[in-house]
């Protein structure tokens, strides 16, 4: 994952965590998951803002 959030080119060897148990995800996979989660927060912020807008619309439309 690059600094501006771009994904690395496919085909590269996936790095693993040495010393980690076999069930542990690879390093790249773990980073991808973390970045996905962080991107998802932007969407969640948008949802929260939509809720705020909804509250304001209710206030203005029904209660002047």
Partner 1 sequence: MADLLLAVKWLLVTLVIIGGVPLLVADYQFLLVAFHFRRLHYAKCRPFFPRTAILIPAWNEHAVIGASIDRLMRLQYPLDRLRIYVVDDASTDATPQVIQAKAAEYPGNVFHLRREKGGEGKAATLNHGLEVILGDDWMQAILIMDADVIYEPDSLRKMSRHLADPRVGSVTAYIKEGSRPGNYMTRFIGYEYITAQAAARRSQDVLGVIACLAGGAQLHSRENLEAIGGRVDASSLAEDTVTTFRTQTAGRTVLFEPHATVWAEEPGSIAGLWKQRLRWERGNVQVTKMFSHVWFRHQPNNRLGSISFGLLWFCLLLLPGFMLLVSASLVTLWFIDSSLAWTAFHVLWLTNVITYVFITSFALLIDPVIARRVWFQALLFPGAVNVLILLAAVIPTPLYWVSRQLLSAAGLTATTGWVHGIELITYIWVAACMGVAFLGKVAEPRRFGKVLSPAFVYVGGYGPLLCAITVAAYVKELRHAEQKWDKTEKTGKVAAPT
Compute the least distance from the CB of residue 11 to partner 1, in Å.
18
57 binds partner 1 (CB under 8 A): no
Pick from 9, 10, 11, 47 the residue near partner 1 by CB under 8 A. Answer: 47
String of DSSP letters for the chain: --TTSPPPPTTSPPP--TTS-TTSPPHHHHHHHHHHHHHHHHHHHHHHHHHHHHHHHHHHHHH-
Interaction with partner 1 in 2-31: which residues (CB under 8 A)? 2-5, 15-21, 24, 27, 30-31
Q: Are 39 and 4 in contact (CB under 8 A)?
A: no
**Binding footprint of partner 1 on the chain (CB under 8 A):** 1-5, 15-21, 24, 27, 30-31, 34-35, 37-39, 41-42, 44-49, 51-52, 55-56, 58-59, 62-63
């Amino acid at each position: 994952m690059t600094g501006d959030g771009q994904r690395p080119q496919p085909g590269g060897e996936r790095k693993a965590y040495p010393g980690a148990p076999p069930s542990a995800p690879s390093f790249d996979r773990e980073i991808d998951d973390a970045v996905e989660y962080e991107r998802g927060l932007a969407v969640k912020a948008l949802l929260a803002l939509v809720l705020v807008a909804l509250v304001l619309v209710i206030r203005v439309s029904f209660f002047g």
